[in-house]
């Protein structure tokens, strides 16, 4: 299959050639023709398989006709993190160089006014995190009634509990007749079930088995002691044992662990820096830029760096903690071994984490071999007595838990989920990250534009009411710490999540 067979315009074909792409990847070959035919698309393909170009290229073709008007963008791309939104903007501008389009990046943590000025002049494309997009809308700086194409990247993450109120609200502000494209490397069944709320007769393009990891990623499991200090020592030993590290990301579940690991690794002579959601945005951007430039060898990160980031030099991923959501494992290890490159992924696992390892292996349909140089790890795969109890209260929309998680951890909100809606008078720029903040109200507003009609009159599903609300309160967390991933807890639970459930089906 050639790019020229996909129906792209001559100008886009030139852009593809300039970008150095010779043949389309399978997701591009599968998703581009229906996207050009103005159909809705659900595109599922492994990490690093070219999903970005699968929506950028048809979007460029679409934008060749027509013009942007002030404050009324023509296309919209939603991303779960600021870093990923910025990366997609760069990819869009690089590939679409000759198209001379106006691309506005609307993300939290940076100047609101510069962004507003850009949309004011008329943006062809808006690439945004949901919270900041809604801020612009609420301040009357933006109308979404002209959006012809909506792309939701990392769609399963965006429809998860933390983001869903914002996504539902944004979709109500878009025209009914828009085209919608969803992309991700994972799509849990309970999220899949609610996608029909947003997609109209979608063409499903599924390139590889669901949630599979790329074949080019060599994955290993390493048994780790449960004592925190000894576990850090085990990590250092592991890092030292890997002599071929070019750049590596070390993932931990909690922001405090990330910060602690940064200090500890630096003290032991590693060239390391941290990236997590409690850092201010300029520090986040600086750190990521240094890592991309190869000035930092070990990026210690929370799940804020787990999705979408495309850094070809990442040769290794180390999981200091086993991710609690099995899907997060797929995304974390997918930061290496991209676009057919070789990659290495190691995961430290204590006995207490055994059941998460099991859930990951079930999801990826593969046993992760134990690192030959390490001690036997049989007990890590057993459901040992140390494993924490399943948190039934954290079951999600579909009535199924995404994976089994310890109660205190399950109670915590995701880092990049939408933030509190602040009082209108104050109107501070909102951010995509709300963990500790209060929930936003998700009531429709009077100033809704006329086209503000969802595809269905009402969302078909409502999240289940948490059965053990008190267990979600951070005060009940044994460590008082917050995993850098997850959704609402008692402190920030929005009203619509705790009111009586009308329909518990799905
Ligand atoms: N047709 C192609 N030929 C060669 N390289 C390509 C092609 N399409 C994309 N790439 C490159 O592959 C890399 C990964 O692409 P991309 O970031 O779009 O992956 P993805 O599928 O979105 O992954 P993730 O699930 O992690 O977000 C990028 O560096 C991109 O430039
Ligand atoms: Mg991507």
CATH number at residue 285: 3.40.50.300
Please check whether residue 423 lies inside any domain of the structure.
no
pLDDT mean over 45-70: 96
Ligand 1 atom having least distance to the Cα of 184: 25
Please check whether residue 332 lies inside any domain of the structure.
yes
Could you tell me which residues come within 8 angstroms of residue 47 by beta carbon, excluding any fewer than 6 positions away? 185, 213, 214, 330, 331, 333, 334, 335, 337, 338
Give the pair of three-digit tokens for residue 410: 């399950």
Q: Which of 53, 60, 331 to mutate to test the pocket of ligand 1 (most atoms within 8 A of CB)?
A: 53
Question: Element (H or E) spanning 348, and its range?
Answer: strand 343-349
Ligand 1 atom having least distance to the Cα of 25: 1
Q: What is the pLDDT of residue 434?
A: 38
Please check whether residue 124 lies inside any domain of the structure.
yes
- Given a cut of 70, whether residue 506 has pLDDT beyond it is no
Residues 124 and 226 in one domain: no
State whether residue 469 is helix, strand or coil: helix
Q: Whose CA is nearest to atom 5 of ligand 1?
A: 21
Q: Report the C-alpha gap between 105 and 119 in whole angstroms.
A: 9
Task: Give the chain's mean pLDDT.
Answer: 80
Range of the domain at 300: 217-364
Q: What is the pLDDT of residue 292?
A: 96
- Given a cut of 50, whether residue 234 has pLDDT beyond it is yes
Q: Is the dihedral of CA 480, 482, 486, 492 positive or negative?
A: positive
Q: What is the pLDDT of residue 374?
A: 52
Q: Give the ligand with the smallest distance to the CA of 306.
A: 1
Ligand 1 atom having least distance to the Cα of 331: 26
Give the pair of three-digit tokens for residue 64: 């060749």
Tell me the pLDDT band of 320, cut-offs 50, 70 and 90: very high
Using a 6 Å CB cutoff, which residues line ligand 1? 21, 24-25, 28, 45, 47-53, 185, 308, 310, 334, 338-339
Q: What is the pLDDT of residue 392?
A: 35
State whether residue 191 is helix, strand or coil: helix
Number of domains within the chain: 2
Residues 119 and 142 in one domain: yes
Ligand 1 atom having least distance to the Cα of 21: 3
Q: What is the pLDDT of residue 242?
A: 95
Please check whether residue 462 lies inside any domain of the structure.
no
Tell me the pLDDT band of 373, cut-offs 50, 70 and 90: low
Distance 148 CA to ligand 1 centre (A): 24
Please check whether residue 441 lies inside any domain of the structure.
no
Residues 191 and 292 in one domain: no
Q: Report the C-alpha gap between 172 and 155 in whole angstroms.
A: 17
Chain-centre distance for alpha carbon 96: 24
Find tokens 């518990």 and name the residue. 504
Q: pLDDT tens digits for 444-473?
A: 332 233 222 333 333 333 333 333 332 222
Ligand 1 atom having least distance to the Cα of 87: 17
Q: Whose CA is nearest to atom 1 of ligand 1?
A: 24
Q: Which of 28, 48, 86 to mutate to test the pocket of ligand 1 (most atoms within 8 A of CB)?
A: 48
Q: Is 353 left (phi over 0), alpha (psi -120 to 50) or beta?
A: alpha
pLDDT mean over 405-421: 38
- Looking at per-residue pLDDT, the higher value among 245 and 503 belongs to 245
Q: Whose CA is nearest to atom 27 of ligand 1?
A: 308
Q: pLDDT tens digits for 28-56?
A: 999 999 999 999 999 999 999 999 999 99
Chain-centre distance for alpha carbon 9: 30
pLDDT mean over 407-434: 38
Residues 248 and 309 in one domain: yes
* pTM of this prediction exceeds 0.75: yes
Distance 429 CA to ligand 1 centre (A): 32
């Amino acid at each position: 299959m050639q790019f020229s067979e996909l129906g792209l315009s001559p100008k886009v074909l030139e852009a593809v050639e300039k970008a150095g792409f010779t043949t389309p990847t399978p997701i591009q070959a599968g998703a581009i023709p229906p996207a050009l035919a103005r159909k809705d698309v659900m595109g599922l393909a492994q990490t690093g398989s070219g999903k970005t170009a699968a929506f950028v290229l048809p979007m460029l073709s679409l934008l060749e006709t027509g013009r942007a008007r002030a404050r009324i963008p023509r296309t919209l791309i939603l991303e779960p993190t600021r870093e990923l939104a910025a990366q997609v903007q760069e990819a869009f501008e690089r590939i679409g160089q000759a198209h001379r389009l106006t691309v506005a990046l609307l993300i939290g943590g940076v100047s609101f006014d510069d962004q507003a000025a850009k949309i004011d002049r008329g943006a062809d494309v808006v690439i945004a995190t949901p919270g900041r997009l809604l801020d612009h809308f609420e301040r009357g700086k933006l109308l979404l009634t002209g959006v012809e194409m909506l792309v939701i990247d990392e769609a399963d993450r965006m429809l998860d509990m933390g983001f869903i109120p914002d996504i539902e609200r944004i979709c109500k502000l878009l025209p009914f007749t828009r085209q919608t494209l969803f992309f991700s490397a994972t799509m849990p069944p309970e999220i899949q079930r609610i996608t029909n709320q947003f997609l109209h007769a979608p063409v499903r393009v599924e390139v590889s088995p669901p949630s599979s990891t790329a074949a080019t990623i060599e994955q290993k499991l390493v048994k780790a002691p449960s004592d925190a200090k000894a576990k850090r020592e085990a990590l250092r030993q592991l890092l030292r044992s890997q002599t071929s590290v070019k750049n590596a990301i070390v993932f931990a579940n909690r922001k405090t662990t990330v910060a602690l690991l940064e200090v500890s690794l630096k003290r032991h002579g590693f060239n390391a820096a941290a990236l997590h959601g409690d850092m201010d945005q300029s520090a986040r951007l600086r750190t990521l830029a240094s890592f991309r430039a190869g000035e930092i060898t070990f990026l210690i990160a929370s799940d804020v760096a787990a999705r979408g980031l495309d850094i070809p030099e990442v040769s290794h991923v180390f999981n200091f903690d086993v991710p609690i959501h099995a899907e997060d494992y797929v995304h974390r290890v997918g930061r290496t071994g991209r676009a057919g490159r070789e990659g290495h992924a190691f995961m430290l696992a204590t006995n207490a984490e055994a059941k998460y390892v099991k859930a990951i292996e079930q999801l990826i349909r593969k046993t992760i071999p134990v690192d030959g140089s390490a001690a036997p790890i049989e007990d890590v795969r057993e459901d040992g007595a140390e494993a924490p109890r399943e948190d039934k209260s954290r079951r999600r929309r579909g009535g199924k838990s995404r994976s089994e998680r310890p109660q205190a951890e399950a109670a915590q909100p995701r880092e990049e989920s939408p933030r509190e809606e602040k009082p209108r008078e104050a109107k501070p720029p909102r951010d995509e990250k709300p963990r500790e903040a209060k929930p936003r109200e998700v009531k429709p507003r009077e100033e809704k534009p006329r086209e503000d009609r969802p595809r269905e009159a009402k969302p078909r599903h409502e999240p289940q009411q948490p059965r053990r609300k008190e267990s979600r309160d951070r005060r009940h967390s044994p460590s008082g710490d917050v995993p850098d991933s997850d959704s609402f807890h008692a402190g920030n639970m929005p009203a619509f999540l705790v009111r009586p459930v009308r329909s518990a089906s799905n």
